[in-house]
Amino acid sequence: MKKVKLNILGLSYSQTQTGAYALVLSEADGNRRIPIIIGAVEAQAIAIQLEGLKPPRPLTHDLFLNVALAFDIEIAEVFIHKLEEGIFYAEIVCEQNSNRIRVDSRTSDAIALALRFECPIFTTEEILEKAGINMEFDESGEGGDEFEEAENIKKSSAGHVDYSDYSPDELNELLDAAITDEDYEKASEIRDEINKRKP
């Protein structure tokens, strides 16, 4: 069975399910994208790692990472191996010494752990054919509306605050408060504003 490597393109609000998010994975050596609907908690676990935010206390996936490292367990890869009735099935391939163990997992949890262990994510050609959305490119190398939407997938106008009037000190205080409150979406927006001002 040929494995196809995937990258994480980003997250967006789900257009079909209230309170859910779409996690978009992209084919590493191609134009196909796979959208996977996940819950808000799992989306938060993925988003904080994508944004490089550090919670004050370990979240569940961080705890798993700490326990695994304490017992010398590594995650070699995440493999999305089945698609059935719209549900993606994944397994985490763990290694300890010379032993390799496959652990069944929800795809969202597996990807949250893949980010923390910095391990590759794979799927099959069959799943890409079933669920993949092909992003066509024109001669200039740019995609159409779908491509632009995918590239901006982490951006949403809903509930955004204009932080442009805040001073750098105020922004840093707001960032600390947002992380303490575990409001990582707000923290991400504030961090983006701080980064925009860097020379």
Task: Tell me, yes or no, whether 126 and 43 share the same domain.
Answer: yes
Task: Tell me, yes or no, whether 194 and 122 share the same domain.
Answer: no
Task: Tell me, yes or no, whether 166 and 85 share the same domain.
Answer: no
| Best mean pLDDT range from 41-55, 104-118, 163-177 | 104-118
pLDDT band at 15 (very low <50, low <70, confident <90, very high): low
Task: Tell me, yes or no, whether 144 and 185 share the same domain.
Answer: no
Chosen domain end from 121, 140, 156:
156
If one counts the domains in the chain, the total is 2
Task: Tell me, yes or no, whether 174 and 101 share the same domain.
Answer: no
Cα 16 → chain centroid: 19
| Cβ-based neighbour number of residue 174 at 10 Å | 19
Task: Tell me, yes or no, whether 102 and 31 share the same domain.
Answer: yes
The pLDDT assigned to 64 comes to 96
Give per-residue pLDDT as tens, 55-95: 889 999 999 999 999 999 999 999 999 999 889 999 999 99
Give per-residue pLDDT as tens, 20-62: 888 999 999 988 999 898 988 899 999 999 988 888 899 999 9
Task: Tell me, yes or no, whether 102 and 85 share the same domain.
Answer: yes
Domain of 59 in residue numbering reads as 3-156
Residue 172 has pLDDT above 70, yes or no: yes
* Mean pLDDT value across the chain: 83
Task: Tell me, yes or no, whether 78 and 42 share the same domain.
Answer: yes
pLDDT band at 191 (very low <50, low <70, confident <90, very high): confident
Question: Domain with 149 in it: what CATH number?
Answer: 3.10.690.10
Task: Tell me, yes or no, whether 36 and 114 share the same domain.
Answer: yes
| Cβ-based neighbour number of residue 2 at 10 Å | 7
Task: Tell me, yes or no, whether 23 and 101 share the same domain.
Answer: yes
pLDDT band at 185 (very low <50, low <70, confident <90, very high): low
| CA gap 42, 40 in Å, rounded | 6
pLDDT band at 156 (very low <50, low <70, confident <90, very high): very low
CB 74 within 8 A of CB 98: no
Task: Tell me, yes or no, whether 26 and 77 share the same domain.
Answer: yes
Task: Tell me, yes or no, whether 29 and 92 share the same domain.
Answer: yes
Question: Percentage of residues in the chain with pLDDT exceeding 70?
Answer: 83
| CA gap 133, 130 in Å, rounded | 9
